[in-house]
Structure 1
Amino acid sequence: MTPRTPARFADSRHEDRRRTFPALQPLEGEDFASSWWGNAWVEALEDTALDHARLTRGRAYARRGHVDAITVTPGRVMAYVHGTRPRPYRTEIRLRTLTDGDWGDFLATAAARPDHIAALLDKDVPHALASVADLLPTPGDLIPDCSCPDDGYPCKHAAALCYQTARLLDEDPFVLFLMRGRGEREILADLSHRNATRSAAERTGAASGTPAPTVPASEALAPRPLRSLPPPFAPPAHPGRPPAYPQTPGAPDPLALDLLATEAAARAHTLLTTGTDPVAQLTQWQDAVRLAAAHPGSGLTASTRALYRDLAVATDHTPTDLARAVAAWRQGGLAALAVLEEPWDPPAGPFDRARPALVAADFPHFRPWRNHLSTRSLQLRFGRDGLWYGYESDPDREDWWPRGTPDADPVGALAALLGR
């Protein structure tokens, strides 16, 4: 609920069909409205405007306090607005008033629910009520008029009046109701009458002796079999594809939207078909590598290069670190990424038998270090999953990149690395 400071307008002259508010103080460092209905008023003004430069000047006039006392009557808001000339301009905003039928629908809906009445008494407007009778203005619903020679629509003086009016609406939504044709006392009296009539009807029904329909407690609490649920729908064969997102000024990046929608669809499909979440146990870095690995290499498109750059910065790595990790992920997923990043000391067994097997296959020059077997430009790494992973580097550079397909046989992994 929007905070209120009604004391700011306590000296307004208040007649039920005419209210005059003293000139508002200059506005500094805050929006003209914080309530949803006050912002709807501002949006209707800005969506109607044909010249946004005049809106900018109107906002400046309103913020500096150029708008004098504001008078609100059904269908009309009027004030004198100071401009560049000594004499202020007479400025009006006109809008359509509601019919008696519209008001009847609005009041009947409000009286039907005590929480709606409580909200109105607390100077709040439930969304459901505003939509009953089209209380809020729409683009084209606000008609400005000003005695100045400017033929803008609206001129800066009318724009300033609109912005200041939003501050009044923010404090008291009954100002909006008055613009639409009914005063506060009239509305509250009608709601009170309708509520009293409703309560009397309920008491009369209770006193008439007509019993309310009942169900015996033994019947209500008796155990009974539940109907079986229908079988679930078969999951689709593949996750859906998101729509194309155009580039729009001020909108999120289309690549980011496409990535988010695609990942959500793939994750939901996996969870639906397997019952497991493929992402839940990943660290932020591992998930960034997974995301980047699902897209083409970093040198193909500007958008993909931007993706690599943004993911690397977000995880405190360089784009080269990310590209190397992506190569490992494509080689063998999470297990291959662990092989890239976590040297370890394997126990006696398959690792010790690897060098004799390589010598027998005429590859005698591999030297061991922890779980690595290396030459000047080739390397095999033994993973905790029992597979051998191939790596390549320029001779004597120690700049190792994952290559080839993992294999339980070190000779097979080397053959895949060499393309044999």
Structure 2
Amino acid sequence: MKLNYTFLYLIPLALFFLLDNMFMELAAPHNPDLQGTLINTLAKGLAGMSILYSAYKFQSMSSSMRLAFFMTGLYLFILALESYYKYSTFFVYPHVFLKTLVFFYGIFIYTFYKNNFHLKMHHLVYFILIGFWANVLIINPGALSISSFTEHERGVHSTSVYMLIIPFLYFLTQYFFKAKWYSLPMMFFVLLTIFFFQHRTVWVSTVIVLGIYYLLFRFKTNTPIGIGKILPIIGVIVAGGLASSAFLFSMHPEIITKILENFSDIENFNKQGTGSWRYNQWLSYLPFIKENFFLGMRFAGFELPIQFYRDDIDKPVFEDGYGHFFHSFYVDVLFYAGFIGLCLYLIQAFRVIWKTIKMSRLTENQIMLVSFILSGFVFGLSYILPPYFYALLGLAIVMLEEDQTEKTSYLVAFAARKKRELLALRQKLISF
């Protein structure tokens, strides 16, 4: 029997997923200090590996990715010189350097899969699902109860639930493109999981993903979305809604109250719920961002005392001396690295957008990844983008540059032309 070793090509990508709290809790259960040490050690190691490998494969990059590599490397070099000039050491605060080093994660994944394009998406999907449910069942089993839902004890981190959008899109794609029998129930199972863990930003991101996915599916593929494929989805939603109303909601009316409360928090994000907490944090640091908009505060930002105070005890929310922990990618980057730092990210993100617009047709994997990456612009409003997001960004770029659709179209056209030539030859032979 011949073994398929393509799953080994998941390893470089999986390393960046391991930085998520979901996997670190499995590695060091109920030991936050060890989890933090493991994350910092792995993050630094991956950053160093990303720079070295990307430099080694520099010639294989496209011109835009070479620009991304050069600009990010130049920024870090200048930052190291500033550190040496002010503190007599090249890397005084690793926390500040990591704000930019993460951009190399995407470049590394891009260069690796540019030269080893053998990754299978289903390997990634099941890696995520197994890791997620292992965490829930082993580390956070209490999070599955009705009381945890109504009391908003989510247990699982937002970035871990955000990760589930990839399996959701995968099964949705399998249903529309390949009509796999198990894809529809799996899609709803993943969607229900996203809903149950109540990260409202992930809810909004999922809605945005669906909108982007539909537009790409509609205008970038030749696969129609007929009524035959829509009716089963509507049927499952209606049946699920009736069953929930008849049994679950009637027995636990507090669930309806909690759901309505969540939607109210989304609608009034700046006045109630965790949204108001984030909003007040943004306002606390806005003056510093305005004063240092282009270059950011860098090391001075790390040394700045905590500006975000709790009203109930009139004390800082975080401890001084450990840096500032923001609940927004945009605030985080603008505070530490300024608009220049944000541009380093946008070089890669806009590469995805430009290639998507330019290409006439997209494959199912390209549509999945582009939809997910574009949702990051929304998710980043409320959370710092996780390390695996940058890895998927690099994967999206290399998949778009491989341009599988155009290659496939060329092969199909070539085969059709040869078939016509053979038929014409056959007709001549018959006539003869």
Question: Aligning the two structures, in what range does the TM-score lie when normalised by the shorter sequence?
Answer: under 0.3
Q: Which has the higher strand share?
A: 1
TM-score when scaled to structure 2?
Answer: 0.21
Q: Which has the higher contact order (CA 8 A, sep 6+)?
A: 2
Q: Which has the higher helix share?
A: 2
